[in-house]
Chain A
């Protein structure tokens, strides 16, 4: 009798395992998704809120034929350290923050980019300035950048905006 009960107890104490395969499958699916959809963040693109115009005519950089550019970001001070509505915070050029009063640094950045472009034997008409302004910033903070580009003899200027959505 005692022998029988011991045997029964041994029979019930098997190894408890759980099937890991579906979990590993899901994990790999997620990793593949993230690897495929992730884009390396560019230092040149500051974090800001872009305009979303009605029926936007904006085209992606890949569609745009001219690859040579100088990007000037204008970030908003709204909600940052008591910044007022419409005020700009920084000009961000080449990943570097420039104070609003230091416009000569923006000029130097665009000038250097243009000079290096010309040094490579490329034509000035194949160079443009991309203005990435926060939609909340007042026009008076953007205008000086346009004037700098004009003074440097740059003929092309692109404005960054959100691309037309499907529901439009």
Chain B
């Protein structure tokens, strides 16, 4: 058994001898799967995602209730009057005024509206009971942007009122 093999190189007649030591040194041949199709598909996918993706704002819902058909907005205690929040256009087209129970001193700030609602709860008695029993009615003027109506609703929910409804003016 010879300890070498012969190797022929194309275009040459002579046989080249390759010893076992040379073969061991050379190592086993590397397996190289074709990567090109995979890279092609990967780039197609990447391009698809890049072109179609749209970043959305985090969206949620403010839970509310609607009055029953032909019934008052909620069960009202005889001695507890509802709180009405009027939303009227301001001097500037992009502002509105929030007025509680048509008081002269309104506010344009949602934070101030929240504070006024909390103050109203404390003035009327037990805040826990007031939140539970007193309905809040939001009365926006027809031409008020929806953004400010949602703002008034949100502040009423923040103030933990349980019955919040809408009315048109």
Contacts and interface: CB of A to CB of B under 8 A. Distances in A.
Interface stretch (B11-19, B20-28, B53-61, B126-134): B53-61
Interface residues of B, number: 47
B42 A27 contact: yes
Interface stretch (B1-9, B77-85, B151-159): B151-159
B42 to A, nearest CB: 5
A140 B57 contact: no
Given A27-B43, A54-B111, A56-B154, A136 B145 contact: yes
Interface in A1-36: 20, 24, 27-28, 30-31, 34-35
A161 B151 CA distance: 9
A108 to B, nearest CB: 18
Contacts of B66: 129, 146, 149-150, 154-157
A150 B64 CA distance: 13
Interface residues of A, number: 57
Contact of B62 (A20, A154, A161): A161
Contact of A51 (B35, B114, B151, B168): B151
Contacts of B158: 55, 57
A31 B46 contact: yes
Interface of A: 20, 24, 27-28, 30-31, 34-35, 37-39, 41, 50-61, 63-64, 74, 85-86, 129-130, 133-140, 142-143, 146, 149-151, 153-163, 165
